[in-house]
Amino acid sequence: MTNYIKRSVMPFNFFIKTIRKEVEQLPHFLTLKQVAHFLQVDYFTIYRLVVIGEIDATKVAGRWRVPRSSLLEYLERRHPFNWEDSF
């Protein structure tokens, strides 16, 4: 795997500010495999989320690409307990 993602297992009490900083360091467009690695889930989980429209993605040359902004939107939408005003 490429070494643009340098982190250990995701802690349970992560905050949206931390997530934003990590996502900002990613490429502008990610493959499904890169998104799966970042979220520490299976490739097919991400594929299903893209197909049902949970994560916005587009096909480029026949391959799915996820804009980094779509990934961040998904994380913010999915984890509202991480809003900055929570604590």
Tell me the C-alpha distance between 33 and 35, whole Å: 5
Residue 86 has pLDDT above 50, yes or no: no
- CATH number at 26 reads 1.10.10
57 against 83, higher pLDDT: 57
Partnered with residue 30 across adjacent β-strands are 66
Segments forming the whole domain that contains residue 71: 16-80
3 state SS of 27: coil
Q: Once rounded to an integer, what is the mean pLDDT over residues 64-69?
A: 96
The total domain count for the chain is 1
75 in any annotated domain: yes
For residue 84, what pLDDT is reported?
A: 54
